[in-house]
Chain A
Amino acid sequence: MKLDNFTVGKRYAKALFEYATEQHISDDIYTELLALRQVFTDNPDLGNILTDSRLDLNEKRAILAVLKPNFSQTLQDFLQLVFDYRRMYDLQFIIDEYEVLYDKANGRVEMTATTAVPMTDEQIESIGAAYLKRFSGKTATVTNVVKPSIIGGVVIDAQDRRIDGSVKTKLNQVRELLAQPLK
């Protein structure tokens, strides 16, 4: 059975992360991977092009040759390996999974805070600190997403968890209460 992207991403990321940890270069690899992800985000079809079997192998090698020299030796080897196994399309999943493993090892927490109006820097900082105090973790990175449809309050998404303090949800709860039959 064909493996799906998540499975592939997990396997490659785990291997890379464990290797990097052994070599004590997991931080450097992480920064490099972020740069690599930027390249892939800027060129959305890059992964497809590098995996597509209809394209000539030499053409793909040429693209890889442009891409590779910017990175450290370890990552160059890794890219070559991923390319040889025709998994370049899954590279973004690999980077995502690497990030998950890296965050877990370093106690970093990625957070998304959704609000109706933009948050100030102090608010962002204090909400990160509040989350860390309540749950585990050392540092928190908070991304603020503005979504007027939640009316007010804040919704926090972090580590497969959603803390919903939005006015919209509260109104929905009130609506459910009112819709219940009278006793």
Chain B
Amino acid sequence: MSIKAEEISALIKQQLANYQDQLKVDEVGTVTYVGDGIARAHGLDNVMSSELLEFSNGSYGIAQNLETNDVGIIVLGRFDDIREGDTVKRTGRIMEVPVGEEMVGRVVNPLGQPVDGLGPIHTTRTRPIESPAPGVMQRQSVTQPLQTGLKAIDALVPIGRGQRELIIGDRKTGKTSIAIDTILNQKGQNTICVYVAIGQKESTVRTQVETLRKFGALDYTIVVEAGPSEPAPMLYIAPYAGSAMGEDFMYRGQHVLIIFDDLTKQAAAYREISLLLRRPPGREAYPGDVFYLHSRLLERSAKLSDDLGGGSMTAMPIIETQAGDISAYIPTNVISITDGQIFLEADLFYSGTRPAIDAGNSVSRVGGAAQIKAMKKVAGTLRTDLASYRELESFAQFGSDLDEATQSKLNRGRRTVEVLKQPLHKPLPVEKQVIILYALTRGYLDTVPVDDIERYQNELFDFFDSSHADLLETIRTTGNLPDEDALAAAVKAFSESFTPTGKN
């Protein structure tokens, strides 16, 4: 490639055309303390809360505590070369991140800068990371379903567009997997996904990004990442930055799914900042406004009214519990803020029931409004049935002679559990979920051995794909259950042709 000097000078000229010779008048203060990701500065008398400040080394900070003598600042970025006596100047702006379609498919840090090594992001718009949540009249109630592709969730705890559904459970119970599978299932659904990884191991994030890339999900996903090696302020602002990126799409009428993985670590980062800023500690040493920390974040996820374009932002915050203790401070806070929770249990996970959703403790407060009619019909009482089966199961371990009704209930329960199992990264379209649940609730599975259910399910789907695609099509397009006789006949025909293992 030959370098053309004229071209280069033309480009430089073009860049320099914007240069204006102006005197810069700044309000400055002096750093009096710096360390642990925070700084204190003297002066800056007119600074406003949450204002963006610039240090002389080029790092930015956010004014947090405005006290009589000094200002407490959280430093975003390098603070090891800020010295006592350095100047810090006001910018008059509040913290903003770049937003827009250009961000999609990229991995960025909480400042919106790319960290995936794919070059600069040419965005034209920015959005403040903190912005007021939509008001009462700007919203409408949640009606459209957001399909997660997981039978256990779509049937038991359905999620609607604009809902906030918490995923809660111990470490290693598959919280992140549920979130990732949900993203994978949004393919072709015209939904933008934002995955905010807060304090997750960089290697784990890399794995998730590769998974998304492998399944083609990165084409509609923004990954915001704040690693554990970054200073606490970055972890603290990450979910707000992610929300700002999602809001941009929501206010332009699109559907957004945002995942905060996980808010426990964000709360811990905020606790760290608050203690260093000498705010009084409260319960579990969290500061007094830790509830507001999460409520103002999750309130920004909403279903907008039709006047505003009808966009939505569905939030799936993740909370990690310690030994199943959902009555700790942060879990109770977030449970009360969200519109329901998916509770994952370690015991179920290790016994092979994956996703390990505890039907008794999981709820969705939006519920039926967010299900298609067909699903409502087949899954109506599934959740309560499953919960009563769990109760009965522990009971039945003692007795040997059980009456027929109990036997059949246990029988159905075992099959329900089996049907709701689903392998990793294999989201299922809603029409197929309806078919298998129809077969289950109408009793076609009662005669199939438990070990054969997975095979039955797969073969049933193949059968419908090849011979009854029209029935699937009806469910997909209308959302209603097709003509019951036709459906019953199809399932019946298949069940009769199905040969359980070991019979031939």
Contact = CB atoms under 8 A, between A and B. Distances in A.
B137 interface: no
A164 interface: yes
A7 B122 contact: no
Given A170-B21, A181-B122, A164 B15 contact: no
B24 A163 contact: yes
Contacts of A10: 68-69
A4 interface: yes
A55 interface: no
Nearest to B89: A162
B166 interface: no
B180 to A, nearest CB: 32
A170 B12 CA distance: 16
Interface string A170-183: 10011001101111
Contacts of A164: 23-26
B325 interface: no
A161 B46 CA distance: 11
Contacts of B96: none
Q: Is the interface of B mostly helix, strand, loop or mixed?
A: mixed
B16 A174 contact: yes
Interface stretch (B37-45, B207-215, B374-382, B405-413): B37-45
Nearest to B29: A160
Contacts of A183: 122
Contacts of B70: 6
A6 B12 contact: no
B25 A177 contact: no
A176 to B, nearest CB: 10
A139 interface: no
Contacts of A169: 24
A157 B28 CA distance: 9
Nearest to A6: B69
A131 to B, nearest CB: 11
B25 A161 contact: yes
A159 to B, nearest CB: 9
B398 interface: no
A162 B69 contact: no
A126 to B, nearest CB: 16
B27 interface: yes
B122 to A, nearest CB: 6
Contact of B43 (A160, A173, A180, A182): A160
Interface in B8-28: 11-12, 14-16, 18-19, 21, 23-28
Contacts, number: 55
B182 interface: no
Interface string B27-60: 1110000000000001111000000000000000
B16 A161 contact: no
A165 B69 contact: no
A165 B23 contact: yes
Interface residues on A, range: 20 to 34
A130 to B, nearest CB: 11
Nearest to B26: A162
A174 B16 CA distance: 7
B502 interface: no
Interface string A6-26: 110010000000000000000
A160 B68 contact: no
B84 to A, nearest CB: 13
Contact of B16 (A157, A160, A165, A178): A178
A91 B169 CA distance: 58
A178 B15 contact: yes
A183 B15 CA distance: 9
A173 B42 CA distance: 26
Contacts of A160: 27-29, 43-45
Interface string A148-160: 0000000001001
B28 A173 contact: no
Nearest to B11: A182
A169 B19 CA distance: 13
A180 B15 contact: yes
A30 B492 CA distance: 102
Contacts of B42: 6
B387 to A, nearest CB: 53
Contacts of B122: 181, 183
Contacts of B68: 7, 10
Interface string A122-152: 0000000000000000000000000000000
Given A6-B69, A181-B120, A183-B122, A161 B19 contact: no
Contacts of A163: 23-26
A7 B12 CA distance: 51
A162 B14 CA distance: 30
Contact of A161 (B15, B18, B26, B69): B26
Interface string A34-48: 000000000000000
Contacts of A174: 16, 19
A161 B89 CA distance: 9
Contacts of B186: none
Nearest to B24: A164
Contact of A162 (B12, B15, B16, B87): B87
Nearest to B18: A177
B69 A4 contact: yes
Contacts of B25: 161-164
B422 to A, nearest CB: 44
A170 B29 CA distance: 21
26 contacts: A6-B42, A7-B69, A160-B27, A160-B28, A161-B27, A162-B24, A162-B27, A162-B28, A162-B87, A163-B26, A164-B24, A164-B25, A164-B26, A165-B23, A165-B24, A170-B21, A173-B19, A177-B15, A177-B19, A178-B15, A178-B16, A181-B120, A181-B122, A182-B11, A182-B14, A183-B122
Interface of A: 4, 6-7, 10, 157, 160-165, 169-170, 173-174, 177-178, 180-183
Which 8 pairs of residues, A with B, have the shortest CB-CB distance?
A6-B69, A164-B24, A162-B28, A162-B26, A160-B43, A181-B120, A165-B23, A163-B25
Given A6-B69, A164-B26, 5 more contacts: A7-B68, A160-B29, A161-B25, A181-B122, A182-B15
